[in-house]
Amino acid sequence: MKSILQTYLEQEIWLLIRDKWYFATITKVCDDLLCFKHRTHNKDAEEDTLWEMVVKTSEVIAIDKVISVVSRKPDVFISSLLETNISTDNYQQEHDN
């Protein structure tokens, strides 16, 4: 598990540790310890908290690589769609000629 985790250094991935999923950035893997950062969101206070955690690598049950992230905010989502559409249109125009 240690060698697999090392391949994801400084990348955002989902980690299943014990029975809880964390959207985390792995910062260090040494000996039998895994260091990572993750955020929690407090809906009431509208605040994010950045946590740094250290767990034993043996406590990692699964990892799930993040392919892409889409914002839930409508204006950001629409602009992402427009950017995707523009690049698709440009691709089509280049290959139609």
CATH code, domain with 33: 2.30.30.100
Q: Report d(CA 83, CA 46) in Å as an integer.
A: 29
Q: What is the mean predicted confidence (pLDDT) over 18-22?
A: 92
Q: Over 90: is that where the pLDDT of 93 sits?
A: no
Are residues 60 and 28 part of one domain? yes
From first CA to last CA, the distance across the chain in angstroms is: 50
Of residues 69 and 38, the one with the higher pLDDT is 38
β-strands 47-56, 20-30 pairing: unpaired
Q: Report d(CA 34, CA 27) in Å as an integer.
A: 8
Q: Report d(CA 49, CA 3) in Å as an integer.
A: 29
Domain around 86: 70-97
Are residues 96 and 80 part of one domain? yes
Q: Report pLDDT digits (tens) over 47-83.
A: 888 899 999 999 999 998 877 666 666 666 666 666 6
Are residues 85 and 53 part of one domain? no
Are residues 77 and 92 part of one domain? yes
